[in-house]
Amino acid sequence: MTAPNELRLLPWSGPEGKPCYLSTDDRGGYMSRLADNIEAVQLGTAAELLEQASETLNDQDAALEEMRCLAKQLTGALRDVLRVATSRGHLLAVSEPRP
């Protein structure tokens, strides 16, 4: 089984917003693939929101409510992307051979 310091941070939160982790040696297992797929969706959503944000910021007539809604969506996407980056960075550090 995976050592405690090699747990994978999953791309979703548990109850009360606490992080969820996966302990497995099977990176091709169901939960690993599910996490990979969700991470891909989260990154795709963030890319779409970034494009939308650029367009909205260039629109001189954008309503304040539209900007607030966009800011909320960007905040959620940034939270997801940071979780993905943290998880993948940890996976890279764990998979690199130690001297």
The mean predicted confidence, pLDDT, of the chain is 87
Which of 91, 77, 75, 73 lies closest to 35, judged by CA? 91
Q: At residue 1, does pLDDT exceed 90? A: no
Which of 2, 83, 99 lies closest to 42, judged by CA? 83
pLDDT on residue 5 = 57
Mean pLDDT of 77-83: 94
pTM confidence score: 0.77
pLDDT on residue 87 = 87
pLDDT on residue 98 = 56
pLDDT on residue 95 = 64
Q: How confident is the model at residue 88 (pLDDT cuts 50, 70, 90)?
A: confident
| DSSP letter for each residue of 3-19 | -GGGPEEEEEE-GGG-E
Query: Helix or strand or coil: residue 98?
Result: coil
